[in-house]
Every structure is written in structure tokens, then in C-alpha cells.
Amino acid sequence: MSENERLNELSIAEAGDLLRRKQISPVELTTACLARIEQLNPTINAFITVMHESALAAAREAEDEIQAGNWRGPLHGIPIGLKDLVDTAGVKTTCASALFKDRVPTEDAEVVRRLKSAGAVIIGKQNMQEFAWGGTSASSYFGAVHNPCDLDRIAGGSSGGSAAAVATGMCFGAIGTDTGGSVREPAAFCGIVGLKPTYGRVSARGVFPLSPSLDHVGPLCRNVTDTALMLQEIAGYDKLDTTSLDSPVDLYTNALNTNTKPRIGIVRHPFFDGLDADIENAVGEALKQMRDLSTDILEVDLPPAPTAVQAPEVYALHAKYFTKSPELYGPWARERLKQAAAIDTVTYIEARQELDRVRRCVGDVFSKVDLLVTPATPVPPITIAEALSMSPEPAGELWLRNTRPFNAYGIPTISIPCGFTRTGLPIGLQISSPNFTEARLLSFAYAFEQTKKTSA
């Protein structure tokens, strides 16, 4: 293994510790990631824009600060990627669409500002489903993202490029968005960790919206510890973001080793219905392992989630562009916008009111249990060819069935690896907890992760 390859395999926690002790440099880390991007991106297509010069400049600045004893924390000098709907001042932010192919924001998104304040090196903008509307990342103006585990298959979406980049060491972590599963599903398909925090926990200001009532911003990383480290830096109230909620931020990494045993709730319907056989077996084994990590495992039910909120909100955001230049949208987005335009105001308002009711009552389930567990996806990733030929019907995309309801509930939800199919495709396990209990969620995910390492 070359020195660059060794560096690419480090976790954020490991790399951060070596940087703090001045045993490696941010420039070495960034150079290793840039080399990996040059090697793999032509086939995986995870990046739309590689910020080569500015990343090296930021790495040199971080190196000077660390050498001078001004270490900012665990992300200082760590190369991080951004889904290409997260605004970056002076750098194209395209949303993977011809409509925005030359769009250059003048300000950083709040999440980027926080990452830079923590000393992170922003290495590039990552490929995605056009305008984040879909779960394949095959429908992009810049071409499909390929799954690193099988290049013929989808990486998931809409944060597919972010997941693929993290999984292959092109960056150490990434920021994605999740409106119906767009962090968790690609994390599951690429074999990494993806966290959708509590709705309003991480500022969405400067992130091009899909559906403001359902949008969440969250990290994708290779393990739970790194996820906690990233969340620590990006979580917090933003008074300029109307969706942001003012709640204290816990010390997430401190909570990882709490060793408390929670009560686990299994939600059978519809999350376990019609599972792929390999996924059913892997999740079954995971539940067996959880017996030693919990005080009780029982079956619970969740309220049905409204389904008519997202499409009208997407259309409202795009109407001015779509009516003027429909040809600048890809076939998938164009068809879905046509469908969304037909949804009447009464239907939307009723669904939006139901969303508020569901978010108020979903917490009742946690009087019986501390965490909820389901498969992250009911099926493995399909092929890119299948994704490009499928009809963009709202009822489609079975792989998002298990993730979508948790955007309506708004509660923190994570996907962590729990095995592989017989053909070597990753399988994800989905875990949820009450609002603003990310520390509890990450602690249990970490305990399960350690169990998997021990049994490997």
C-alpha cells in the first residue's frame, strides 16, 4: 500500500489525531484525496467540481496554523466534500442541472461557514440527482454516479456522489441533504454511515431546497465516530434560517461510550414487508446482536405519514424556472414537475396540516421504547440502466420506502452498515430516536458498530 493509499484509509478521528500531533500534514491528506479523485472519479463520477487549487491553499493555511500550535479541533485540515446544492462562494453550485450549470453563489451556506470555521478543507462539489429529486443519482446533467461496489449499479440518491466519494476515500466525510432518504439510502447502498439529524438541528440556509418542510442537512462518513465529529461542528441554531430550531447541542463524541442499554422498537409494517432475502437475513442477524445491547426488543407501530407535501413544495420552488425553460430540466425532473403541477392547493394544505399533527404525536411511541429499528432499504441498488429507463411515478422508487416516513416525522435517523448481499452489495440498518437525541442515537449505533467489528 502506497503512502497516499494509507492516508486515504484513515478515519477522520485517526487523521485528526495525527494532524494534531503533527505526524502528518493537511497538505499530505489533501494531496492524497486529490490523487484518489484523479484515479477514481473518471469511472465513479462522484464529483462535479474538484476545488484543486483552493483546497490546497486551505490545506497549507491549516498546516501553518497547526504548526504554530493553533489547532482548531478534529476537523482541522480534514478534506470534506459537499453535495452540489450546498452554496460555496465563488464556486459553481449546479444542483446537477443544466438550468444551474453556470450558477456561482456569492456566499457560503451556513454549514460551509461552520466547516471552514472548524478548519476543514473543502475539496469539491459532489454529483447528485438533479435538484435532489430522486433516489438514484442516475438523472444528473453531469452523468450518473456509479456505485463503488458495482459500477453498473446506482450509488443511491440524491446524495449519491457524496456517499460514493466517502466510501472510496476521495474525501474523509461529506455533507448531504435528506428529504426522503437522500443521505441514508446512498449511505446504505455504498456501505457507509449516513445521518439525518432532527429537523432543524442543522441549518439549511444556503442549501438549495427541495421541499422545505422535509429537508434535512446531514453528514456522510465511514464510521459512527466520524459522524459524531462532523455533527458536532455543523449542528446549532441559525436565527437566519426559518427552519432552524433553538435547542442545546450535546457533546456527541463524549456520548459514544455511555454503555446504556436502550429499549428497542421494531416497526414491522411496512418496513419489513417484501424484503429482499439477503437484506432480511442481514437485518435478522443484526437484531440478534442487538439483544445483548438492549434491555428489551418489542414491536411497535408508527402513524402513517402524509405523502402530498413534497411535490407541491418542489413545484412552488421551480415554477418560475420550469414555466420559462422546461427544456433545461432532464426528463426525470421534467416529468415529475408536470405531475406536481397538477396537485391542488387544498390537497397540499391538508397534507401540511397532517404533517404538523404527525410530528406532534410521533413522540408518543417513545414512551414504550428508546429507539426504533428498521431495514434502511427493502431492496439492493438497481442498475443504472434500469434507473434511466424507469417511469418517474411518485409511487415508484421502492428503495426509498423505508426512509421517507422519517422525514415526515422529523426525528433523527441513521443508516449504518449491517452486512452484504451474496453478490457483495452493502446492506444498511436504520435506527431512529426522539427529537434532539442524536447523542443517544449515535451511542447505540457506535455500540452496534463495535459488535460488528468484533464478530467480523
Task: Out of 25, 97, 137, 182, pick the active-site residue.
Answer: 182
Give, as one character, the DSSP assignment of residue 9.
T
- Residue 221: which H helix or E strand, with range? strand 216-221
Distance CA 288, CA 252 (A): 26
| Residues near 248 by beta carbon (within 8 Å), at least 6 away in sequence | none
**In three state form, how does the secondary structure of 377-400 look?**
CCCCCCEHHHHHHCCCCCCCCHHH
Residue 162 a catalytic site member: no
Residue 83 a catalytic site member: yes
- Number of helices (H), then strands (E), belonging to the chain: the values are 15, 13
Task: Out of 139, 158, 203, 244, pick the active-site residue.
Answer: 158
Q: What angle do CA 49, 54, 56 make, to 5 degrees?
A: 110
Q: Are strands 193-196 and 263-267 parallel, antiparallel or unpaired?
A: unpaired
| 316-321 CB contacts, 8 Å cutoff, 24+ apart | 317/209, 317/210, 318/131, 321/99
Distance CA 36, CA 46 (A): 11
Torsion angle in degrees (nearest 10) through CA of 296, 254, 8, 236: 100
Type of residue found at 134: G
Q: Are strands 121-126 and 79-83 parallel, antiparallel or unpaired?
A: parallel
- 376 burial (CB, 10 Å; 0-12 / 13-18 / 19+) is buried
Task: Out of 83, 139, 294, 433, pick the active-site residue.
Answer: 83
Distance CA 406, CA 402 (A): 8
Residue 25 a catalytic site member: no
Q: How many residues in total does the chain contain?
A: 456
CB of 364 within 8 A of CB of 256?
Answer: no
Give, as one character, the DSSP assignment of residue 88.
B
**Which residues are the active-site residues?**
83, 158, 182
